[in-house]
Structure 1
């Protein structure tokens, strides 16, 4: 039986302490000092992703994730990686629908190097024809490998979002469309850089082994003179009309040999209280051998060779996909019917207290585990500041899960997991 007392005591002992400040140019900085290991982790999160793109200009945020390693006014092409590797560190970046993040982990005496590199990226990035052309080909190749030649990838990243969202830029794939990549100009990219790669649209996090006054002085030295961006970033949310009738779509996938069904639901934004409940529902349905879909659809009824669900919670909306790939001699309609029975069963009967306790236990452990590494702490600090405007949720967010009741599961499942407000996509091979 679940007992959170030990975990609560453990959590108190591992409370994350941090200091935050905002420079006059709007750059928000969060410091978390931990002198256990002689390492520092530095991340700069820019509040720009697919959400900030327009028709004909898709894939810009992801393209910049590549372009920002090309060099700057004071860093030669390709030297970003060389600086990090030759100083015993590692670095990388990622893009999603709402953000682009760059990060480094280095020996602690190399903190000035990391801050200099990130200040160069923010102020002096090299956006020239040669760099653009190189990265355009790199991104096209990435698109071929990850989307064009992978089964189910196009359905999940392009088709389903375009059916769930009619107006919101979440309908675009993160990697963008090839035609937009081909037509984007240097002027377009420079405008994007000057708009979004500015201090008042960024959060800098420094975690690890440093001396506070020294780290603050270094940050001020490298970043305080960078000019503030010119636009107001309080974007108005683009509201979607509710889906009132199931949208059915068949996608013929040249890479697929096994047909699959994907049931997709539009959810509320990540900060909505219901999102916490939906994360538990996602786990009850498909996480582990004892989950509903694994136990009943795959093992007991043997209608699917593979099935599950995944929840992508974003700043303005979320997407929840429940999917299954059929076994031989089973039709997609048969598999859909059985998955729907599992969803309806969840809505009518809910879950047991034992199931709920098991999930709370999982999220409690995950919460603690995510705060064990410097990179995990850095990611959580910037995440809670950016989206919730409350950095201290890094210590208290687990309370939201602790308060969830069995009744909440039923209420939220009935609110969102309805046939008339979803997309049902059949992903089929070429016949």
Structure 2
């Protein structure tokens, strides 16, 4: 996965420099009509400027004006992620993300990247459960050129055998380096969902089985593009030092003539209610110590119980004062750290399907799974049998608001465009960003108790151990002797 590299831009003071290219063609904006939605906000909550438009080809456009930093953040989100890839082609969504970085008809090879870098900006992208994104942060005077470039990539990407072979090798190397040759590998973010879920779309190796990656054909890549990479399945977000009217004209001009695309393939990603606890063991010759992870299936996103689970997440595993950390690290000394959360590949807002609330730890070999889970159950059963106090609820809500503001208020504005894109893709309502706190405001101790009783029951839990194992090479050497 292309890992974010934008942290260095928190203090972006990029000079107003030339964009290093002749830029986009000076076409007249076409006359596509748009529907417009303006977001509101609670009087006492966050207030983000949001305008929302839909082009005739189905492309959703979100604009957010903010002149505090002289940069613009552009993001193009496609509603395709790990869940959408076809059976027998695990890792294909991630592979295709790489393919889209190979350039476009008017910007072949590395010219797309050079356009960004010569402008003084950065770009990246990623594949997640329910979307693939591409984004850039550039000085605001380079915005028009970047919109033209993204439109060219959407309309005319380079998808050929040479690019496929090249990027298949790149992704294969990523799998080897990041998973197969790493201690603990994809234990908590790949293997645990595969244990917990029943539906293949939620329960497969989305980083990619090597045999599936090698079997990917050029026809598969073209079909995947035709199915998912179209304006009707995409959102363009532009946030920052922009003129909204001029920006919308550019988006209409460059994206408006791209065909809407085919109707999306129908995929059922629903999960049955889990009725019994699941267990799994991963032998790992690279692991120096045992590890343990457990996950509970989440309530549907956006429901009252979803917000209550976010509160439980804060109480149980987030921060030094969390109940599981106090029990497992401070009191029992099983481990030096407990980590976890909702949607480990993103945040609690940017997914749209079945999800786990997950907890993990690496622990000493003298402590068994049964011993550790007995202590875990002591904590879990407390929140399942007793209402949390008003003080605990208030503390959890304060931490949630702090996390939310931290996502939105970054120097790159990437957290902001991420949420705007997710709410447009999944809810057709990017102004929901200004109402997120309303959901948390409705959480009560009674709701937290009822949610814990249903979703933190043992029969909704999956437990995965990592057990250090002798390496195959060591076994072969012993056999040779």
- Shorter-normalised TM-score: what interval? over 0.9
> 1:243 pairs with 256, 268, 274, which one?
274
Give the drift of 1:267. 1.7
> 1:194 pairs with 226, 239, 254, which one?
226
Aligned equivalents of 1:329 and 1:42: distance in 2? 51
Counterparts in 2 of 1:236 and 1:271: CA distance versus 1, 3 Å: farther
Matches within 5 A, 1:259-338: 259-312=290-343, 314-338=351-375
1:402 aligns with 2:433: no
1:98 aligns with 2:130: yes
Relative to the length of structure 2, the TM-score reads 0.84
1:392 aligns with 2:431: yes
Identify the range of structure 1 (204-213 vs 153-162) with the bigger mean alpha-carbon deviation. Answer: 153-162
Residues 46, 197 of structure 1: 8 Å contact kept: yes
Aligned equivalents of 2:312 and 2:204: distance in 1? 26
Relative to the length of structure 1, the TM-score reads 0.93
Residues 31, 206 of structure 1: 8 Å contact kept: yes
Matches within 5 A, 1:2-401: 11=45, 15-232=47-264, 235=266, 237-312=268-343, 314-373=351-410, 374-401=413-440
Aligned equivalents of 1:66 and 1:238: distance in 2? 25
Gaps of 5+ in 2: 1-41, 471-481
Counterparts in 2 of 1:18 and 1:242: CA distance versus 1, 3 Å: closer
Displacement over 6 Å in runs of 4+: none
Aligned residue in 2 for 1:3: none
1:414 aligns with 2:446: no
Which whole-Å deviations, capped at 9, do the CAs of 1:220-250 have from their partners, x for residues lacking one?
11001101111146x4533323222212222
Residues 304, 335 of structure 1: 8 Å contact kept: no
Structure 2 counterpart SS, 1:216: helix
Residues 302, 327 of structure 1: 8 Å contact kept: no
Gaps of 5+ in 1: 1-7
Identify the range of structure 1 (109-118 vs 377-386) with the bigger mean alpha-carbon deviation. Answer: 377-386
Aligned residue in 1 for 2:20: none
Residues 253, 429 of structure 1: 8 Å contact kept: yes
Residues 73, 414 of structure 2: 8 Å contact kept: yes
Residues 326, 335 of structure 1: 8 Å contact kept: no
Aligned equivalents of 1:391 and 1:93: distance in 2? 20
Identify the range of structure 1 (25-34 vs 341-350) with the bigger mean alpha-carbon deviation. Answer: 341-350
Counterparts in 2 of 1:406 and 1:168: CA distance versus 1, 3 Å: same
Residues 237, 316 of structure 1: 8 Å contact kept: no
Residues 271, 388 of structure 1: 8 Å contact kept: no
Structure 2 counterpart SS, 1:68: helix
Aligned equivalents of 2:303 and 2:84: distance in 1? 21
Which whole-Å deviations, capped at 9, do the CAs of 1:135-159 have from their partners, x for residues lacking one?
1111111111211122223322333
Give the drift of 1:9. 6.6
Residues 83, 269 of structure 2: 8 Å contact kept: no
Counterparts in 2 of 1:158 and 1:382: CA distance versus 1, 3 Å: closer
Counterparts in 2 of 1:213 and 1:326: CA distance versus 1, 3 Å: closer
Which whole-Å deviations, capped at 9, do the CAs of 1:323-372 have from their partners, x for residues lacking one?
33323522222111111211112211242211110111112223333332
Which whole-Å deviations, capped at 9, do the CAs of 1:102-150 have from their partners, x for residues lacking one?
1111111111111111111101100111111111111111111211122
Counterparts in 2 of 1:52 and 1:338: CA distance versus 1, 3 Å: same
Aligned residue in 2 for 1:4: none
Counterparts in 2 of 1:212 and 1:242: CA distance versus 1, 3 Å: closer
